């Protein structure tokens, strides 16, 4: 490139462009750290026994109920 700033160079200095990217990167780092901690726990202690786990059907029902309640809240508002 010659002496002129390109659009991409200008975007690097624009907070409206940079801040959302930094926020996304920070959230991804947190997710990666959580996953790494979970995998470390599995590596150190092994997987829990089936008796210690919640069946996926129960988890799904709870998630769907929460989504349904959230949808009802949005319809009322």
pLDDT band at residue 6 under the 50/70/90 scheme: low
Q: What is the largest CA-CA distance in the chain?
A: 67
- Residues 11-60: pLDDT tens digits? 777 888 899 999 999 999 999 999 999 999 999 999 989 999 999 999 99
Question: How many Å apart are CA 39 and CA 35, to the nearest integer?
Answer: 6
Question: How many Å apart are CA 13 and CA 23, to the nearest integer?
Answer: 15
What's residue 74's pLDDT?
A: 75
Rounded to 5, what percent of the chain is helix, strand, coil? 80, 0, 20
């Amino acid at each position: 490139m010659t002496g002129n700033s390109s659009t991409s160079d200008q975007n690097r200095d624009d907070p409206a462009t940079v801040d959302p990217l930094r926020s996304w990167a920070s959230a991804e780092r947190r997710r990666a750290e959580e996953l790494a901690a979970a995998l470390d726990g599995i590596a150190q202690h092994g997987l829990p026994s089936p008796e210690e786990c919640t069946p996926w059907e129960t988890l799904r029902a709870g998630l769907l109920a929460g989504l349904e309640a959230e949808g009802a809240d949005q319809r009322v508002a």
